[in-house]
Structure 1
């Protein structure tokens, strides 16, 4: 049996956190960008909009709804290295249920918000001529090239996370849930990148909102799976605690 290489597991967690930070526009990366040289670096990559925060649209931040599950899963693995596995096992069920329910509520709320924005965009776009003019002023100039560049960077980081997990322990491939989760976030990011190129630039904002709706729905499904899958562990923990009291 191959021994777990802890540094690679830690690196996987670090890159997963970095991915979510880029998706959400974490202040750790965007605040004081000029001081940190981030603006200069992004311009060197061809991003002239003043920073990553200008190019995310809706779909890219929504990807974080799925990637936080990756961070949570890796966090449990890392905790098991610091704390007794029995303690982590007993607590993980309840923590997972609570976290999954909160994520489900957040995903549903963001899903509703994305649907609202999508309906507004489509309604304005087809309400020629004045509605179309309002749409073009507000959403017609989507920074497509910069957004695609950011998405490609996210894809690279997610591949790195997967590679770090394989280097840490090839047996991670046997964890079907983790593999499915990594495949979901990777394919979702790739799909957003591809669909951006299928429509004219003036329609990318609509496609972006539609992608956000799908991503939020997928995140809600994953949250439901986590919550339901953790219930048996919670029930077992409750039974064990009652038995110990007796």
Structure 2
């Protein structure tokens, strides 16, 4: 028996036709994320609080589903998904593997297909307070309030940002100061110094494109990638042409950054 957490608005459709393969799994596969039903009620519904952070329609429900013991599924921590490190097991073995773990928080089971209505056992309301948020061990840690980690519009986000301001939140130094830092970094330049300067340039709407253009040929791919993100919101003429050149960069991270900027 497995449990899948979804919006309550999806419950009528799930009872009628099952669960669509809307989840994104390892290697770009589409399917359904779920977790085994364990003796611990809290562990079984551990994903509820984390999924609630992203909103729902009418609250959340827990969909209990039955799979054949020989059904192939992907098993692993959610962090293993990006590294293609999740393991393919049969459903029965997946339950045994997770149940035997000393700490199964953060683990998931991915069914690489849709779930039929006949496999849905029942749909019930999900508990609102079970599980973890952000990370399985986040409770008690000092939260990071940088632009990449903080939750915009989340409950208490403004008070948290005021109480724990992040040193990289700004305001950015003047352009003259940033250009002096870039020049002082040398040729080709210290990557750490250049990436910090590009971080501040990324907070602006316009900037000295001609002075930063040589960084597109910097030997460190991290500098070139940060250059892409720094230019992402600029309205300075010539940005599109520079991004066109970076779209042909030999490093995949730089090319992917250009794609993300253009898709966003």
Structure 1 and Structure 2 fold alike (TM over 0.5): no
State the structure with more CA Rg: 2
Of structures 1 and 2, the one scoring higher in RCO (CA 8 A, sep 6+) is 1
Superposition TM-score tier, normalisation by shorter sequence: under 0.3
With structure 1 as the length reference, what TM-score do the two structures score?
A: 0.21
Give the number of the structure whose residues are more often strand, by fraction. 2
Give the number of the structure whose residues are more often helix, by fraction. 1
